[in-house]
A and B are shown apart, each in its own frame.
Chain A
């Protein structure tokens, strides 16, 4: 029986003992062809209890988060409170290349399963632990659900309307997805070294620590200039100046980025050129010298004369008209899509981004989003549905 997809990581065995969104780490390996076993407690993974659900009916096999994150994996249940299952786990470790977990710091050690313990069984093991704040330090035992760790990571401070509280992203839990994808990166980097020296490694992946990486130049404004940047709603702050990014259009909103300089010149000419073709250009824009106009260093009042006129024009067009024109006229604008618009997007359809797989447990076909990148050597496929709770217990334990 062929358990695996042909992929870049086909030779590798992965134990994914993470909970909930952290299963993205194992998903990345599974989609690249590794043999990934998802280990759940007998109560089932957190994702099984998180919506949205198939037919909006909560059920242990109906969570879209579960199906998305755990397709292409096999699944077993282990109760780490039982010695028999601890022994099974240790046997599994013998020929495991990668282990991912998201237990509280110290839990695995209390079961005799710390990296120090496991590397005695398998010195080549690459073990990655994902925790809210890291394996040690003053906050190591603090609780870190998405909103909390997103707050302490600093990115949330920059998101939302200035007159209201900072806001998180409503597709959740983003912070854990970031940490899990980073964990997968770190583990693959460690693989290169292991291939040279035959020695594995332990990776301490913090969720909070991923946040500061999204702050672009926010730290530097504070360090060099003592300026604390903050959220600006539909504007984008560039230190002491800001530029509008969100514009209403006929059937929603678009994001339009405009700066000064070389890039700004061609961008503004693209959209103004189109306005001119449609005959809707105010006099003062007709002979405008774009080469000397610097969107970021022009006083806001003068700048709004230019972008106000562009904004009035955008109100007369639909999102799809503006997107098509942006491609044609080579200016930088994108519609504010809801996920339905995303699914209908011609670009994704033309690149065959969407996948389907018949799920025999549910007796129905499920559609999935496709690969994060395209490889000239392999095609990512959904070849195996996310497992039922303990679906592969007998099959996997029989081989030990």
Chain B
């Protein structure tokens, strides 16, 4: 206790759903920002209906998927399909917010009269970030979809998998995982700029363009040379051996990377194969690369009956890079991640105690653990209206009876 959070006092009005926006605002919330998540019972975050549920029956309040990316936030239920709701947002929430973030397809905000120009007319220093799949302008701006589609569009499928098999792509919505960093960078840089100059700004974030940032060198290779990269399994252009090898037990694997000839000789010694250290088939990176398949068979033969963790520790303790391919169960127990408190346990009214992942960075002088579990749908209706927004009782009753607040 005792350490402050870096973003105490920052207020974020959050209209985003699914993963990219919510993961970003979760990290900002972990770091101390107050985040009001706008949803309603008629239109809740899609993740609230995503498995698994903690407890017997499905409930929007017990989705583990939602819990992962929404811990620490406050939930305010507004029915945005009610035309009067936009006025409520403009009168009460925009004046409160430093930052407004959305993840709608580009046609939604103009339809509501909630473009940046509309909102900046009320509050010129407002920062607004609108994220969507393809960006808010351009011929394909209206394409709907999640980061899985952005991952296919931006080359991650083509460049993940085995050369002799389908381009299966990385797991889930990869473009979300790349883009959320840029979401955070954008709003934090804009906040600093506002505090220096008094000027707000609008940020148009295309998930497609954000995710291409992690393929820069390969894009430049095509842009400048006209040459393409493709998937190559677990091989690498600079290192060999470089693969994931079977270990004892079902579907158990250990990755091993040899970065130089020094590691190669240590590795051969540990394998009990000093005979191949100087073998002309394997004694240089170039020769190992030519004979990579044969070498991988030799290594697999050695690893296949070994305990994956014992093998990793043996190699690492001798200066050879190795890592078990960890599944969810392994990650729960991982001693290094535990050392970093990768989970905190928080109580939730309907879900009880459960684990919440913490940010991957640790501050020396600041706290960054989520304070609370994810909110129930509409949990903070009264608290937000009465304690944060100071809405008088009569108006509050009217907003409820008109169906603006649900």
Taking CB atoms and an 8 Å cut-off, the chain B residues in 193-220 that contact chain A are: 193, 195-196, 199, 201-206, 208-210, 212-220
Minimum distance in angstroms from B243 CB to a CB of chain A: 8
Given contacts A190-B6, A233-B168, A337-B152, contact A375 B201 (CB under 8 A): yes
Asked if A8 and B190 make an inter-chain contact with CB atoms under 8 angstroms apart, the answer reads yes
Q: Are B321 and A143 in contact (CB under 8 A)?
A: yes
Given contacts A51-B237, A334-B145, contact A342 B219 (CB under 8 A): yes
Are the C-beta atoms of B209 and A373 separated by less than 8 Å?
A: yes
A-B contact pairs, 15 of them (CB 8 A): A63-B217, A65-B216, A143-B321, A147-B255, A148-B255, A161-B161, A181-B182, A201-B365, A240-B51, A255-B157, A334-B148, A336-B152, A353-B209, A369-B220, A371-B209
Beta-carbon contact of B6 and A64 below 8 Å: no
A373 interface neighbour in B199, B204, B223, B340, Cβ under 8 Å: B204
Number of chain B interface residues as a range:
35 or more
Residues of B within 8 A of A333 (CB): 145, 149
- With A186-B363, A222-B332, A223-B354: A160-B161 Cβ-Cβ less than 8 Å: yes
Partner of B139, one of A136, A184, A331, A347: A347
Quick one: given A154-B326, A212-B337, A335-B152, are A376 and B232 in contact (CB under 8 Å)? no
A167 to B233, CA, bound (A): 6
Find out whether the CB atom of A219 lies under 8 angstroms from the CB atom of B336: no
A254 B360 Cβ-Cβ under 8 A: no
Tell me which residues from 346 to 369 in chain B have a Cβ below 8 Å from any Cβ of chain A: 354-355, 357, 359-366
In the bound assembly, the distance between CA atoms of A112 and B316 in angstroms comes to: 28
Write out the residue numbers on chain A whose beta carbons fall within 8 Å of the beta carbon of B210: 372-373
> For the complex, is A9 an interface residue (Cβ under 8 Å from B)?
yes
Contacts known (A170-B159, A184-B181); A159 close to B189, Cβ less than 8 A:
no
Query: Do B230 and A156 touch across chains, with their CB atoms under 8 A apart?
Result: no
Chain B positions 169 through 198: 1 when the CB is less than 8 Å from some CB of chain A, otherwise 0:
111111001110111111011111101100
Q: Are B222 and A255 in contact (CB under 8 A)?
A: no
Complex contact A145–B157 (CB within 8 A): no
Q: A346-B140, A347-B135, A366-B224 are in contact. List 4 more A-B contacts (CB 8 A).
A: A9-B189, A9-B192, A52-B225, A373-B206
- A134-B340, A214-B177, A373-B206 are known contacts. Are A192 and B192 too (CB-CB below 8 A)? yes
Q: Of A115, A209, A372, which one neighbours B337 at CB under 8 angstroms?
A: A209
Residue of chain A at shortest CB distance from B155 = A339
A347 touches B182 (CB 8 A): no
Closest 8 CB pairs of A and B: A220-B64, A181-B181, A137-B339, A158-B171, A148-B323, A209-B360, A334-B149, A188-B188
Asked if B322 is at the interface (CB within 8 A of a chain A CB), the reply is: yes
Q: Which of A150, A161, A169 contacts B156 (CB 8 A)?
A: A169
Given contacts A51-B237, A372-B210, contact A159 B28 (CB under 8 A): no
B390 at the A/B interface (Cβ < 8 Å)? no
Q: Does B25 contact A (CB under 8 A)?
A: no
Q: Does B251 contact A (CB under 8 A)?
A: yes
User: Is A166 engaged at the interface, CB distance under 8 Å to the other chain?
Assistant: yes
Name the residue on B nearest A364 (C-beta): B224
Complex CA–CA separation, A69 to B224 (angstroms):
16
**Interchain CB contact under 8 A, A239 and B316:** no
Contacts A184-B185, A208-B337, A214-B171 given; indicate if A154 touches B145 (C-beta within 8 A): no
Cβ of A279 under 8 Å from chain B:
no
Q: Of A101-109, A282-290, A300-308, A322-330, which stretch is located at the interface?
A: A322-330
